[in-house]
Amino acid sequence: MDGGGEKPQKSHKKKHVGQKAKKKDRKQIGKVEKHNPKAHTFSGGKRSVQKRVQFTLEKQAKKLHAPKLDKNPHVPPPFIVVVQGPPGVGKSTLIQSLVKHYAKQRLIQMRGPVTLVSGRQRRITIVECPQEMSAMLDLAKVADLVLLLVDASYGFELETFEFINILQVHGFPRVIGILTHLDSFKDNKQLRKVKKSMKHRFWTELYDGAKLFYLSGLQYGRYHRVEIQNLARFIAVTKPPIISWRQNHPFVLALRWEDQTDPTVAESAPRCLDVYGYVYGGRLREAAEVHLAGVGDFHIASIKQLTDPCPMPGETEAERRRAVSKKTDEKPQRKNALRTLAERHRVVYAPGSDIGSITVDSEAMYIYVPEQQAGFTAKEGELQETGEQLPEAVRMVRALQVPQAGLEDHAASRPGLRLLANTKVCLPAAPAKGGDPKANPTNLRRPAPLLEAPGQTDDEVDAHEDSDEDDDLSACDDDSHKRGFLERAQRRFAQAPRLENMIYGSMAGKSCSSSPGSTAVTRAHEEKHAPTDHATVPLFEDDEDHEISGSNVDTSTDIQSPLLGNLGDLDGLDATRMSSLPGEAAACDEGSREALKGRKFITGGWSSAEENDEENAGEMSAEAAVLTAEATEGTEPPSEVKSSKVEEEFSGSFPISSFVRIRIEDVPAACVAQMRRERPIILGGLLPGESRLGMVQARVKRHRWHPKLLKSSDALLLSVGWRRFQTLPIFSIEDRGEKRMRYLKYTLEHAHCIMTSYGPMMPPNTGVLAFRSWERRGHFRICSTGVVLESAPNFEVKKKLKLVGEPYKIFRNTAFVKNMFSSDLEVNKYKHAKIQTVSGVRGEIKKAESSKGQFRATFEDRILMSDLVVCKCWVNVPLKHFYHPIVDIAEWRPARLIGELRAAEGIPVPDNKDSHYGKQISRSVRKFNSLKVPKTLEADLPFSAKTKYKGKKKKTDLSKKTAIVSSERERAVNNLLHRLYTVRKEKARVREESNAKRKKAKQVRDKFIQDKRDAHNKEARKKRYVKEGQTEAIKRKAMMMD
């Protein structure tokens, strides 16, 4: 057998028998080989062609729609992604996994939105949706993409369906479903079945083909990397929806907020709130009216555009190229588009979270140090462990933290040494051997003040210093070594103080100034002499990119002394150093440090102007930029500062995608006190006219899952536009012919009706959501949905009224009616109104007859005294002006329903007979008088038609006098017989019932046998009849009768 040869493939064997063969045969029977040329042409002449063309044009016209304009600029604002799901479904874990995928950083605790760069042309803001209904409503109005998390082990919950319904009403953004807890299924068959059923249920609520992701399990506390990568790809290609409400209304999703009220003001006084975020939807202007969700309407006190804390990679690269071109005086080269994100592009802006182990608030920055067995820095009170117990990395870092006292040893042998220029302060001499070591500790760093002697120039100070140094060095053996040491020490300590030392108080109470002899070095020089001391480590990541080129570079700094250790570059400047503070030689008091902290130490991102809360913040930031530019290259201010200042001065508004700070004043203190970082804050702009109150008509329909009908004048919680409020709606339906709006006491079961309510006027097609209560209940909380039709100061809703009266006098076609009105004034108001009897006789009201409401009326025909007179009319229903805004505080209470008030107070429901629906009014049967026939007429009638008179039997006198008196024994016998008869009758009834039950059971039991017997008897009868018929036929034939 040849093992190298290939086996021939098995040929297909056609079916000749079976269902497949029969099916093919049936197809072949009706198959026509030739093409029918008239199958797809017009038939029926010219009229048929016109109908077909008209049908095609109508079909195309239905597909046409008004084009939607996308107002987002070339650099759009961050894409808002809302993560929603029931408690314990894995929302925080999903957000941590996405942040780890995009930013390569660990998110330990999330408090508030997280904005990060997800691609070359996209930024996303991830928001976790709380479980409160108010937060779900607010986020549904601003979300671009919703990630719906569902626990597959539990199934769909009401919160998921409620949030889907809210999204459908308020714009319906993109939705992606995610199934979690799939690792709880051990059987693959059951897992596939659950996936299939939940996918089709998800499609039923959204649309066929809606995307549903599956997260199988956790790995290292996060979801699997490949699954998160697939989800991130779908998020990257999802286009933001164009929703008309958001395109017409500007809004801001607060990434951060701060209370900027004066601390001296009372706690209950109105607060001043600063809101930071990106502008969406339209341009925002100062003094524009906005609505703070859950608080109320306000006017923007001030608005200022700030530096983008999360810039796009293109902007970052452009600024980097500009900085390089300024340094090297070369034209910036055009570079290709970014293909991947570099590490410097992965910017994260999460002010409330502890991403990167750093938490920032309005006053300070906190570094999160996890509890470990052995840290790099020894804790207070921790004993020094032996080298064998500590890891090698910890031992090396702790060894570098041991201070080296080479400078102090030299200062001890040379009293009066001055290390800083422009000062008379000298290093103190070392204490005697027998002195107190606590009087002048050597292990405490004490920075010297930088003050100039009055009336003394820099040259004189330098000359005096040189002369003193020459006298001191003449007594030393190694003059060259000490001269080099003094020069390095002077250059080291003559620099301006470090920024972090001033902020954290090491220079408190001291004054600072810049040395005119300080110089700068290049990046290569800085990297060559990188410092190892903790005080010289750059505080911010972009310190290493900040370069200042100087004209005088001293090459003598290359000579380092081992006595001082690796001090780094002595003359280099970075972002943590300042050449001079505003005010130059002024004292660094508390106010100066606070201003410096406001410019340099920001909350949640690098922005030199973000925390400047003064009214002239723009001028201060521009001044700081000018000072920085003068220190680097010259006195020319940056062009970006000029352009932004000119734009702000002439436009007066801030476009979409701008990062702004909005200040709102007179905010209630109770609302600010209960604001939380976890809860989203939406600042929505209002169009002119939306702040006025009036009547709003909306077309609504009761939700099919809500258990009860809605009643007119019952309090409902509405969500319309940005607002949430409580009102008393009136339901109505449009009458036939559009004559009037007819009042409805209850909503229709499965049809739309009109809801008229009092509240802020809204434009048409605005979504409306109605709730009875927001508390968690066992049923669906959304009771109705709809859209706004019209807004006006007032609407007319009419109710049918039936007035019933009864006649008390009748004169031919005229009748006098009572009990319809209560006074003559009411009669005069309804004069000449149309009335009608129950029998259908029409009439008209003529005139009042008395002051008690009686009137005279005329009819088409004579009416009876037993008739009821009805007046049908329409009256206006008064609309209730009740508007109760919802405030997101614990003390807010909604208006309760009438049923809730009765249940709380123990008041029974009043029983009104007129409100008994479905009960017929019981009327007494009419008794007519007997017919009286005259005797003359009755004599001519036949006997059958004559009246038969049956006289009453009269008792005779004897029967009247006869009386039967029973004795005691007879009464006892009669009583016994009566009881025996009752017992016999009861036994007969019980016996009859039992016999009927046994008979019925026997019939059921013998039904099969009886059916067989009946069928057999039927067949036997048929045979017998046939046989008898044949015998009869033979006899007749024999007798020749046929």
Question: pLDDT tens digit string along 524-546?
Answer: 344 434 444 443 444 444 444 44
The pLDDT assigned to 384 comes to: 56
Two tokens at 789?
């039709």
Task: Tell me how far apart the alpha carbons of residues 804 and 821 are, in angstroms, rounded to a whole number.
Answer: 9
Task: Tell me how far apart the alpha carbons of residues 279 and 658 are, in angstroms, rounded to a whole number.
Answer: 6
Mutual orientation of helices 968-1005 and 1007-1038 as an angle, nearest 10°?
A: 70
Distance set, CA 519 to CA 258, 515, 558, 580, 1007 (Å): 40, 9, 14, 14, 118
Task: Tell me how far apart the alpha carbons of residues 321 and 327 are, in angstroms, rounded to a whole number.
Answer: 10
Calculate the CA dihedral of residues 633, 636, 637, 639 and round it to 10 degrees: -100
Element (H, E) at 227: helix 225-237
In terms of residues, how long is the chain?
1042
The pLDDT assigned to 389 comes to: 67
Low-confidence ranges of the chain (pLDDT < 70): 1-8, 26-46, 327-339, 356-376, 379-389, 403-482, 485, 488-651, 917-921, 950, 1042
Residue 407 C-alpha from the chain's centroid: 62
Query: What is the number of other CB atoms lying within 10 angstroms of the CB of residue 868?
Result: 15
Two tokens at 220?
């290292």
Residue 331, phi then psi, degrees to nearest 5: -75, 140
Residue 19 C-alpha from the chain's centroid: 57
Task: Tell me how far apart the alpha carbons of residues 463 and 571 are, in angstroms, rounded to a whole number.
Answer: 21
**For residue 513, what are the contacts with CB-CB under 8 A and spacing of at least 6?**
422, 450, 451, 452, 496, 580, 584, 585
Query: What is the number of other CB atoms lying within 10 angstroms of the CB of residue 874?
Result: 15
Query: What is the number of other CB atoms lying within 10 angstroms of the CB of residue 177?
Result: 24
Residue 208, phi then psi, degrees to nearest 5: -65, 130
The pLDDT assigned to 591 comes to: 64
State how beta strands 271-280 and 256-259 pair: antiparallel
Which pairs count as long-range contacts for 728-734, CB under 8 Å and 24+ apart, including other chains? Answer: 728/757, 728/758, 728/880, 728/882, 729/755, 729/756, 729/757, 729/770, 730/755, 730/756, 730/757, 730/797, 730/877, 730/879, 730/880, 731/755, 731/756, 732/756, 732/797
Task: Tell me how far apart the alpha carbons of residues 379 and 381 are, in angstroms, rounded to a whole number.
Answer: 6
Two tokens at 684?
């929505």
Closest CA to 879 of 952, 802, 795, 821: 795
Give the SS3 label for residue 165.
Answer: helix
* Ranges of H-type helices in 521-560: 523-528
Two tokens at 646?
């000119």
Place of tokens 């059971």: 1001
Place of tokens 């409020």: 725
State how beta strands 145-151 and 174-180 pair: parallel
Give the SS3 label for residue 7.
Answer: coil
Residue 326 DSSP code = H
Q: What is the distance in angstroms between the CA of the first residue and the CA of the last residue of the chain?
A: 94
Q: Which residues of 562-585 are buried (b: 16+ CB within 10 A; e: fewer)?
A: eebbebbbbbbbbbbbbbebeeee
Residue 543 DSSP code = G
Task: Tell me how far apart the alpha carbons of residues 781 and 708 are, in angstroms, rounded to a whole number.
Answer: 11
Closest CA to 350 of 631, 127, 94, 57: 127
Task: Tell me how far apart the alpha carbons of residues 224 and 203 are, in angstroms, rounded to a whole number.
Answer: 25
**Bridge partners, 273 (sequence order):** 259, 664
The letter for the amino acid at 183 is D
The pLDDT assigned to 585 comes to: 40
Q: In the Cβ-directed half-sphere of 505, how many Cα atoms lie within 13 Å?
A: 1
Give the SS3 label for residue 960.
Answer: helix
